[in-house]
Amino acid sequence: MLFKTVYPIFRLCPIRRNYVLFNCNNGKVFDGNPKAIFEELRNKQNANQYKFIVTASNGVVIPENVHRVRYMFWRISFI
Residues with Cβ within 8 Å of 28's Cβ and at least 6 positions away in sequence, in order, are 55, 58, 60
Using one digit for the tens of pLDDT, what is the confidence trace for 58-76?
677 777 777 777 766 555 5
On the question of pLDDT at 78 being above 80, the answer is no
- DSSP for the chain reads -HHHHHHHHHHTSPPPTTEEEE-SGGGT---HHHHHHHHHHHHH-SS-EEEEEE-SSS-----TTSEEEE--HHHHHT-
Assess if residue 10 is contained within a domain.
no
Q: Which domain holds residue 60?
A: 18-77
Number of domains in the chain: 1
Q: In this predicted structure, what is the pLDDT of residue 53?
A: 81
Assess if residue 9 is contained within a domain.
no
On the question of pLDDT at 45 being above 80, the answer is no
Please give the mean pLDDT across all residues of the chain.
76
Tell me what the mean pLDDT of segment 22-36 comes to: 82
Per-residue confidence at 25, pLDDT binned at 50, 70, 90? confident
Assess if residue 11 is contained within a domain.
no
Per-residue confidence at 27, pLDDT binned at 50, 70, 90? confident
Assess if residue 54 is contained within a domain.
yes
Considering only CA atoms, which of 34, 27, 30 is closest in space to residue 56? 27
